[in-house]
Chain A
Amino acid sequence: EADIYQTPRYLVIGTGKKITLECSQTMGHDKMYWYQQDPGMELHLIHYSYGVNSTEKGDLSSESTVSRIRTEHFPLTLESARPSHTSQYLCASTEGPYNEQFFGPGTRLTVL
């Protein structure tokens, strides 16, 4: 079983609120990723990190930001949530490019 955790699992908030989605892994993986998945649609990479103090934007433009101060922790922040941010956000980590990715359970975000 993968040791990668996300909180909260579900979040319903109003427009304009600041939110942080948490992702933690206990496997010591350097590479971590955030994916966004709209209902019934494919996943898209929005952020990734190859180690502490390394963060990059992914293929899909996102208004969210991320930080990587500790190896095990990769939080995602939305400064001002909007209904268009309603989606599922999945965090993943891997040991390296030729290894499987481990996915967290996801956070379902609804912005009213």
Chain B
Amino acid sequence: KNEVEQSPQNLTAQEGEFITINCSYSVGISALHWLQQHPGGGIVSLFMLSSGKKKHGRLIATINIQEKHSSLHITASHPRDSAVYICAVDDSWGKLQFGAGTQVVVTP
């Protein structure tokens, strides 16, 4: 059983819609990462969180350490947001455990 669970697995939204991706984990962590992977395979780090909330442009990430849960929100979604979004937890030595990813497709 994966110690990092993401939902949903797949998500299709129309341009402009608000998108939420959830991540739950069962291990102790020092930080949680949200990553974006495009079809070419390259991975970009979006956020690293250890508490509270972070915002970057149209992206918002929150984490509740007590409930071992994090969410990634995309406001006013756009077709260029189409990608796989991956949650990963950090054991404090930089060794990441990854969720299975959420495939997001935003249609015009």
Is the A/B pair a real complex? Answer: yes
Q: A residues touching B (Cβ–Cβ < 8 Å)?
A: 31, 33, 35, 37, 41-45, 48, 50, 58-59, 88, 90, 92, 94, 96-103, 105-106, 108
Interface of A is mostly: strand
Partner among A37, A50, A101 whose Cβ is within 8 Å of the Cβ of B33: A101
Q: Are B90 and A42 in contact (CB under 8 A)?
A: no
Q: How near does chain A come to B103, taking the closest CB pair, in angstroms?
A: 9
Residue B44 is within 8 A (CB to CB) of chain A in the complex:
yes
Q: What's the Cα separation between A105 and B37 when bound, in Å?
A: 10
B98 at the interface (CB under 8 A from A): yes
Please give, as numbers and ranges, the residues of chain A lying within 8 Å of B43 by CB-CB distance: 90, 92, 103, 106
A-B contact pairs, 26 of them (CB 8 A): A31-B94, A42-B2, A42-B99, A42-B101, A43-B86, A45-B95, A45-B97, A48-B95, A50-B93, A58-B95, A59-B95, A59-B97, A90-B43, A97-B31, A97-B94, A98-B31, A98-B48, A98-B50, A100-B45, A100-B48, A101-B33, A103-B44, A103-B45, A105-B40, A105-B42, A106-B42
Cβ contact within 8 Å between A106 and B31: no
Q: B101 and A106: CB pair below 8 A?
A: no
Chain B residues within an 8 Å CB radius of A99? 48
Task: Considering the complex, give the chain B residue whose CB is closest to the CB of A29.
Answer: B94
Tell me, yes or no, whether B13 is within 8 Å of chain A by CB: no
